[in-house]
Structure 1
């Protein structure tokens, strides 16, 4: 059931029905060029604002996607840092073992040379 109420002022009359539908009626005809120009301008501004809202929503989605990617990159960087530290320690120990082995071999060779020289001088 719809009851219409009408409000008027000096410039326009507005019809309001019980469903809160509002329609404005101008005393001037809708074919007035100024009104048409104004309506066209309002439509243009409305379209521009709608495009701006769409762009903002797209930008928000891109920012969310970028945030997810940066968080994933940060996690992978942490994993890389841990793995690099582990490999670095492993390589340090391996290098240390090789150096110790070389030192032992050189020491043994020097001992063999020294012993062979001392045994040959004492045996003469």
Structure 2
């Protein structure tokens, strides 16, 4: 009650149609219409829509009451009792709506997280696929390099064999020519 009294004093000093004041663990919402201040407290600092709608409906219902249209309104016990039932109904309605909106907000957050996780998994799978392609290409290049080395070794062996044959044949031809030239005395001995 002390907090409500403090909030009402602050609201009267500010003289604004709507105010939101946080005190302790509660957020106090006020609505000032036709000289009457409507006040409610909530424990959810993030939700300002629900308390504002609650206060608007309460004020409209209160002002529609025939006893309120009298020039000098003085709340009687009968009016207070009737209005307690109205307040109770609105409180049930808006608390249920708030729970539903919290559940909806949580579901929305879960859906958002799920979507982000799905996107991240898709990106990871794409990266893995590209990495597999890169790995396959690397393996192919390594295989090609090994085959190329083997081919070079084989070509090197073949070249040496041909070089040896050509060298032997060239030496044989030169030796034959020298022998022929020596036997025909073209080259004096």
SS, match of residue 98 in structure 1: helix
Matches within 5 A, 1:1-124: 10-11=43-44, 28=98, 47-117=115-185
- 1:96, 1:44 → 2: CA distance? 77
Q: 2:147 and 2:135 mapped to 1: Cα distance?
A: 18
- The alignment covers a number of residue pairs equal to 95
Assess, with a 3 A threshold, how the Cα gap between structure 1 residues 118 and 56 changes in structure 2: closer, same or farther: closer
Q: CA deviation at 1:42?
A: 8.1
- Give, in angstroms, the shift of residue 68 of structure 1: 2.3
| d(CA) in 1 for partners of 2:161, 2:170 | 14
Cα shift readout 1:66-105 (whole Å, capped 9, x = no counterpart): 2123123212321221122012101211111111101110
Tell me the alpha carbon deviations over residues 38-77 of structure 1, each in whole angstroms, 9 at most, x when there is no partner.
Answer: x989866764553333122101111022212312321232
- RMSD in angstroms over aligned alpha carbons? 3.5
Stretches of structure 1 lacking an aligned partner (at least 5 in a row): 1-9, 12-25
Q: Distance in 2 between matches of 1:61 and 1:118?
A: 80
Normalising by structure 1, report the TM-score: 0.54
1:57–1:118 CA distance, 2 compared to 1 (3 A): closer
* Structure 1 stretches of at least 4 aligned residues deviating more than 4 Å after TM superposition: 26-31, 39-49
CA distance in 1, matches of 2:109, 2:121: 18
TM-score normalised by the chain length of structure 2: 0.38
Unaligned 5+ segments in structure 2 are 1-42, 45-94
